[in-house]
């Protein structure tokens, strides 16, 4: 092949058109396998999509870049109780009985049954077990390097690792590659030719801390100095471990986390030591306007299905993954995998969650301006009002935002914090 061809955006290899191929291979050095649905990415969204598609009888292959499922997300996540199926309860590290909210000058302790912290290493592997039980094939250490495109439609992928390379044909590719790393966000980057907006991208770092006292208490610390447009957190695990993390816009997450732990010195972390670090990033600008194209569906982090106010996303990843898997198989059965046919997926998730993402975006934009002053006022308004405190948790986390929103915004002080325009717009979305 002419080496100059590498610089062209499109060029032909075999009978496929490859996009952004930096590593052209000789013709004939690859096998071509065929599947109904190929899922790129073995995080929660991809695993559930694979399970749903395989459960409908489709031939499904899931490819994970890392050497193990959950390899990129080894930390902990705070989830609502109703997300935990009997199987997923196996990943619960702590049932939360208290959440402490800290602003610059105010502190509030919210008590009750506040969901659970799950160990993501376990959580994601349990989802993988379910996908495999439904009949999905899972390949590890198998990064998707390219999309195979013909006549403008995605027809498969190429996976490549350690000198081994393979083209795989798919009726539908599910892009579940998340939003972290150069090989992620395939629909956005490789099909739509765009990237995440830097001003809406939160950077994060988390430490697994050892040698803490076990407490069933999570802490959220709102501080524009360490975490502009975001916050820091401590999520308890078991046996003296906890996750201490930080996320913010335009921060260097490693420096921000070290500075936060060093300068803020949360009393709970006194004597604790970091034993692992997990860097990540989160698109907080809301979901992509387009989450499918001919032959491809994006789901979870790679579709921007992240709640902008807190950055949580497991609720969406699991449900949208389920819709994606089902619609993919129905489209294959119909013999029509055009964007128009696949848009049933887009309509499905938007009708369930579209308003939530908009509300989360509105509230996040409002709180990002004069963050410290607003968070102080907000916490002050919550003091001594358990029902309001609970509503704040449900709105902030995105556990039940639409149900809790009217309760939260009915409080005059809280409505003042967000501002009349934001409140009116948010309530109109209800």
**Given the rule CB under 6 A, which residues bind ligand FAD?**
40-46, 63-66, 71-73, 77-79, 143-144, 176-178, 180-181, 183-184, 204, 206, 245, 247, 280, 282, 300-301, 306, 311-315, 317
Judged by CB, which is closer to ligand FAD: 174, or 379? 174
Beta-bridge partners for 19? 10
CA 291, distance to chain mean position in Å, is 14
CA–CA gap between residue 104 and residue 106 (Å, rounded):
6
Give ∠ CA 198-67-272 in degrees, rounded to 5: 70
Judged by CB, which is closer to ligand FAD: 280, or 291? 280
CB 141 within 8 A of CB 67: yes
Judged by CB, which is closer to ligand FAD: 179, or 417? 179
Judged by CB, which is closer to ligand FAD: 18, or 417? 18
Question: Half-sphere exposure of 172 toward its Cβ, with a 13 Å CA cutoff?
Answer: 36
DSSP 106-118: -EEEEES---EEE
CA–CA gap between residue 233 and residue 7 (Å, rounded):
44
State in angstroms the smallest separation of the CB of 282 from ligand FAD: 5
State in angstroms the smallest separation of the CB of 410 from ligand FAD: 26
Judged by CB, which is closer to ligand FAD: 204, or 366? 204
Task: Mark out the alpha helices in 201-306 (DSSP H runs).
Answer: 253-259
120's enclosing H/E stretch is helix 120-133
State in angstroms the smallest separation of the CB of 327 from ligand FAD: 17
State in angstroms the smallest separation of the CB of 78 from ligand FAD: 4
Judged by CB, which is closer to ligand FAD: 144, or 217? 144
State in angstroms the smallest separation of the CB of 217 from ligand FAD: 15
CA–CA gap between residue 401 and residue 395 (Å, rounded):
4
State in angstroms the smallest separation of the CB of 377 from ligand FAD: 25
Identify which of 207, 305, 213 has the alpha carbon closest to the alpha carbon of residue 262: 207
CA–CA gap between residue 4 and residue 377 (Å, rounded):
60
Identify which of 185, 267, 218 has the alpha carbon closest to the alpha carbon of residue 76: 218
State in angstroms the smallest separation of the CB of 21 from ligand FAD: 14
Judged by CB, which is closer to ligand FAD: 67, or 275? 67
């Amino acid at each position: 092949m002419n080496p100059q061809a590498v610089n062209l955006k499109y060029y032909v290899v075999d009978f496929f058109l490859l996009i952004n191929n930096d590593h052209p291979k000789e013709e004939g050095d690859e096998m071509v396998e065929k599947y109904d649905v190929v899922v790129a990415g073995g995080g929660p969204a991809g695993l559930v999509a694979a399970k749903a598609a395989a459960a409908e009888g489709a031939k499904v292959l899931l490819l994970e870049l890392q050497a193990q499922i959950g390899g990129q997300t080894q930390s902990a996540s705070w989830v609502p109780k109703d997300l935990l199926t009997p199987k997923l309860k196996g990943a619960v590290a702590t049932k939360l009985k208290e959440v402490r909210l800290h602003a610059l000058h105010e502190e509030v302790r919210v008590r009750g049954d506040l969901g659970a912290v799950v160990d993501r290493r376990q959580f994601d592997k349990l989802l993988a077990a379910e996908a495999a039980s439904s009949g999905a094939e899972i390949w590890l250490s198998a990064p998707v390097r390219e999309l195979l495109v013909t006549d403008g439609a995605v027809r498969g992928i190429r996976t490549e690792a350690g000198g081994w390379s393979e083209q795989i044909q798919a009726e539908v590719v599910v892009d579940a590659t998340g939003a972290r790393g150069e090989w992620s966000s395939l629909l956005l980057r490789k099909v739509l030719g765009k990237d995440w907006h830097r001003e809406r991208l939160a950077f994060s770092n988390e430490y697994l801390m050892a040698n803490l006292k076990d407490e069933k208490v999570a802490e959220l610390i709102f501080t524009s100095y360490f975490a502009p447009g975001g916050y820091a957190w401590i999520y308890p695990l078991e046996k003296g471990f906890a996750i201490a993390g930080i996320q913010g816009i335009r921060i260097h997450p490693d420096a921000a986390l070290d500075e936060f732990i060093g300068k803020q010195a949360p009393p709970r972390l006194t004597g604790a030591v970091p034993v692992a670090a997990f860097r990540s990033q989160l698109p907080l600008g809301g979901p992509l306007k387009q989450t499918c194209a001919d032959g491809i569906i994006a789901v979870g982090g790679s579709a921007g299905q992240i709640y902008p106010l807190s950055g949580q996303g497991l609720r969406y990843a699991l449900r949208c993954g389920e819709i994606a898997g089902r619609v993919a198989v129905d489209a294959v059965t119909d013999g029509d995998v055009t964007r128009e046919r696949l848009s049933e997926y887009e309509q499905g998730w938007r009708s369930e969650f579209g308003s939530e993402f908009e509300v989360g975006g509105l509230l996040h934009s409002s709180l990002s301006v004069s963050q410290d002053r607003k968070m102080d006022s907000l916490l002050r308004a919550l003091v001594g009002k358990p029902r309001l405190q609970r509503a704040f948790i449900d709105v902030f986390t995105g556990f039940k935002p639409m149900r809790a929103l009217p309760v939260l915004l009915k409080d005059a002080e809280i409505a003042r914090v967000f501002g009349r325009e934001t409140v009116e717009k948010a309530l109109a979305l209800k």
